[in-house]
Structure 1
Amino acid sequence: MKKQHFGILKISLILSVASTASAQKLGDESYGIASFYANNFYNKPTSTGEILKENQYTAAHMTLPFGTMLEVTNLANKRFVIVRINDRGPYKPGRIIDLTENPAKWLKMRKDGLTNVRLKVVGFDGDIMLESYDSLRVVATPKLESKYYQKPILQHTKYYRLRKNWHKRKYPHLKKRRLKVNSYLRKLARNRKAEQKSKSK
């Protein structure tokens, strides 16, 4: 029993390391407070070596790999924008992401400075793999009578689908880590079979 628990712990550790070191899964969500860069950070190199520009849709995150594409949704007004992670931060406690000028303007968070946001992973290596689309459905059908007209009540929902032909692009760093995890799992299975055979003998 102890060996089995140790093997499960090893698998969970390897999977967690692979997920944090490479990239999180498509569709993973997180919530927190967003802020934007101060003016003195612009035209200076980021953690990746890129020069930080106001008109670029980029952001800083503490743990996500560089090149991760994030959909940032302002929970106050439901406006959303897609940014690319190319820097580390924010370093103030309680904040989850730092945005450049253009995304902050689009989310209408310049006046408040801070806002609650939802982050959703929609791609890796600067490539958007998940795309969102809106759907409207009628909740209450309108009544058409000569006396009055009732407007239909619509319910707005947001869905995601895989982008076409995204799988044709190669992601070698993701494939290597997947192969490492798969090979380790195969070794564990072989060891278990060998142990079972030795016990039966």
Structure 2
Amino acid sequence: MKKISLIIGLFLFFGLTSVQAQDETILLENVHVADSTFLIEEGVASYYGTRFHLRKTANGEVYNMEELTAAHKHLPFGTMLRVVNLKNEKEVWVRVNDRLPKSSKRVIDLSKGAAKELEMIRDGVVPVRLEVPDQETIVSLIDYYQDNKPAGMRLRLYPKPIEFLRPNIEMLELMLNLPSEMLLSRNN
């Protein structure tokens, strides 16, 4: 047991300088769950269709119920969102071009085209998860809201994964198999 401890100790003290790095790069993931990295909000979604078709939206566009658009209480117009139906995990990308009433209990109203993609027409109202495409969008939303971030909205930055090189395990195995006289001779 002493011999193994001595070998491991010597390896740690002297061996690290002679260990060559492998070509393999490993990423340490400091991100919780890949899907939650860009999550900004969860709640209930509904859709709107024929009643508002061809009327002007809050940003001045003409609403087309077959396009992939959405109404949100306060996200900037043009924000791209990935909407995931939590009942069936179907997803769709939409662009915010309209406003929900401030008193609405829903987090988003989708165009009929987006509702079809999520297979929520029959249900009418479904639980959803809203995600943005990247960290840059989160940064721009943090800048947009400053100190007035809406309650319930999650705007968090996650560190980028850390890259490091894994030591060559074969070199460690070689050192463990060396006679102790050879390991001790490195001191001289």
Q: 5 Å matches for 1:64-79?
A: 64-79=75-90
Match of 1:35 among 33, 39, 46: 46
- Partner deviation per Cα, 1:45-64 (whole Å, 9 max, x = no partner): 00010000022110000010
Paired position in structure 2 for 1:83: 94
Compare relative contact order (CA 8 Å, sep 6+) and give the higher one, 1 or 2: 2
- 1:39: how far off? 1.6
Change beyond 3 A, Cα 1:90–1:38: farther
Q: Is the 8 A contact 1:48 1:66 kept in 2?
A: yes
Match of 2:111 among 91, 97, 100: 100
Measured in 1, the distance between the counterparts of 2:128 and 2:101 equals 14
- Partner deviation per Cα, 1:2-38 (whole Å, 9 max, x = no partner): xxxxxxxxxxxxxxxxxxxxxxxx8242100000014
Change beyond 3 A, Cα 1:92–1:39: farther
Change beyond 3 A, Cα 1:115–1:73: same
Q: Is the 8 A contact 1:60 1:90 kept in 2?
A: no
Measured in 1, the distance between the counterparts of 2:124 and 2:59 equals 25
Q: Is the 8 A contact 2:81 2:131 kept in 1?
A: yes
Return 5+ residue gaps in structure 1 as ranges.
1-25, 123-129, 131-161, 181-201
Partner SS state of residue 54, structure 1: coil
- Partner deviation per Cα, 1:104-130 (whole Å, 9 max, x = no partner): 0110100010000000112xxxxxxx4
Match of 2:74 among 19, 42, 63: 63
> Runs ≥4 in structure 1, deviation > 6 angstroms?
none
How many residues in Structure 1 have an aligned counterpart in Structure 2?
106
- 1:90: how far off? 5.0
Q: Is the 8 A contact 2:39 2:129 kept in 1?
A: no
Structure label with greater radius of gyration: 2
Amino acid at match of 2:88: N
What is the identity percentage for the equivalent residue pairs of Structure 1 and Structure 2? 42
- 1:93: how far off? 3.2
Amino acid at match of 2:111: T
Q: Is the 8 A contact 1:90 1:97 kept in 2?
A: no
The answer to whether 1:44 aligns with 2:60 is: no
Q: Is the 8 A contact 1:54 1:101 kept in 2?
A: yes
TM-score, normalised by the number of residues in structure 2? 0.51
Report the aligned-residue RMSD: 2.7
Q: Is the 8 A contact 1:61 1:89 kept in 2?
A: yes
- 1:92: how far off? 5.7
TM-score, normalised by the number of residues in structure 1? 0.47
